[in-house]
Amino acid sequence: MLVEPQKSAKVAHAYEAPDYYQLDGLLTEEHLLIRSSVRSWLNEHIAPYINDWAQNNQCPTHLVKEMGELGLFGPSLPEEYGCPGFDEIAYGVIMQEIERVDSGIRSMCSVQGSLVMYPIYKYGSEEQKRRFLPLLAKGELMGCFGLTEPDHGSNPGGMTTHFSDEGDHYLLNGAKTWISNSPFADIAVVWAKNPDGKIQGIIVERGMPGFSTPEIHNKWSLRASTTGELVFEDVKVPKENLLPGVTGLRGPLGCLDKARYGIAWGAMGAAMDCYSTALRYASERMQFDKPIAGFQLQQKKLAEMLTEITKMQIFTWRLGTLMNEGKATTAQISMAKRNNVDSAIHIAREARQILGGMGITGDYPIMRHMMNLESVITYEGTHDIHLLITGMDITGISAFR
């Protein structure tokens, strides 16, 4: 049961987006309008409550429809399926704004847009697209993405979830874990081995007998997003629910490219919020008769944070233009995801120290960002795995096994 929490004045602070190199000049008027609109909505509907939701481990599922109305789900998918049809930079800007408020809310949107809608758009039949995409875009259906299994995390190719062909339907067996949105999702895009042992996507719908979605409890991270399992015990799935467009690991990996690109922007948003909070606090907090922002050690932290943020901004902007041209490679996206999440975690840790004891409270967003980013650095390919991807790309030798 979701209780309506108290508005927390301090958390709904006046956020100022750092833009040291006038990089807003690289965005179009439309990107800026998108950003200010999304920011206004978040400031009104999410930011004042997010601390309470995270503290109470509540996911604001009651806002899913409104998020759909606003257009946060699948913003770069085409208009003919009920999506806005923006470019990839607009998508990035939206993810950045959402994660500036909370990585959990951004995860909810990334999963829906990049891991549920995108595979249906990219690998689905025309009928599947028409049936699911407009409802997913509007938030009338919520989806989740099942790739990770209890025994196969970094190595999804080893998955054991599989389906057999029973003539007029498929029979699905296996289990997925660590699945964002699973406890309340209406549909799941599940990656499983087909009768030939090849990985293929299949849409499983809530209510199908044998399909359950237990929640994972006790998380210290992404507490405003729900995570769970997907359990399939002889689930009969209609044949028309199989995604016909792709077989093999490149199916799920193609979606991950899209989501990881969004994460590169998103993590930067969390970092910007930490920096903006720390800068404001340091300018106001007096110790030894002067603002702590006047001490060299604090200036070093702030100056380095802003330098890192500026680098991330350039990085993601260029990656966005490559995405728009369809030229971004998986390895390039890996590099940005890895770098930006890592930088964001460092910034969060430094920013938290600037706030001293206040930094550990929910009155400020930093500790929440810091804990959230521990998930972000792990999911969608761990920090290590992305390094191995870059390593393989530059040497031509796989160090995975």
Ligand X SMILES: Cc1cc2nc3c(=O)[nH]c(=O)nc-3n(C[C@H](O)[C@H](O)[C@H](O)COP(=O)(O)OP(=O)(O)OC[C@H]3O[C@@H](n4cnc5c(N)ncnc54)[C@H](O)[C@@H]3O)c2cc1C
**Which residues would be at the binding site for ligand X (CB under 6 A)?**
111, 144-148, 153-154, 178-180, 222, 227, 375, 378-380, 382, 384-385, 388, 400
Q: Quick check: is 166 catalytic?
A: no
Q: Which of 253, 263, 206, 265 is nearest to 230 (CA)?
A: 206
Contact region with another protein (CB under 8 A), list: 30-38, 101-109, 201-209, 272-280? 30-38
Contact region with another protein (CB under 8 A), list: 28-36, 55-63, 174-182, 271-279? 28-36
What is the rounded CA–CA span in Å between residue 225 and residue 242?
Answer: 28
Residue 61 backbone dihedrals phi, psi, to 5 degrees: -65, -20
* Binds another protein (CB under 8 A): choice among 32, 303, 314, 399: 32
Given the residues 88, 99, 229, 380, the one annotated as active site: 380
* Binds another protein (CB under 8 A): choice among 7, 20, 40, 195: 40
* Binds another protein (CB under 8 A): choice among 5, 18, 85, 210: 85
Binding partner selected for residue 85 from another protein, ligand X, none, CB under the kind-specific 5 to 8 Å limit: another protein
- Shortest gap between Cβ of 85 and ligand X (angstroms)? 25
Q: Which two tokens stand for residue 127?
A: 């009928």
Binding partner selected for residue 384 from another protein, ligand X, none, CB under the kind-specific 5 to 8 Å limit: ligand X
Tracing tokens 């799920």 back to the chain, one arrives at 252
Which residues in the 90-109 window bind another protein by CB under 8 A? Answer: 94
Between 37 and 57, CB nearer to another protein:
37
Binding partner selected for residue 148 from another protein, ligand X, none, CB under the kind-specific 5 to 8 Å limit: ligand X
* Binds another protein (CB under 8 A): choice among 12, 48, 54, 71: 71
- Shortest gap between Cβ of 141 and another protein (angstroms)? 17
Between 241 and 375, CB nearer to ligand X:
375
* Binds another protein (CB under 8 A): choice among 84, 139, 174, 365: 84
- Shortest gap between Cβ of 42 and ligand X (angstroms)? 21
Which residues are known to be catalytic?
380
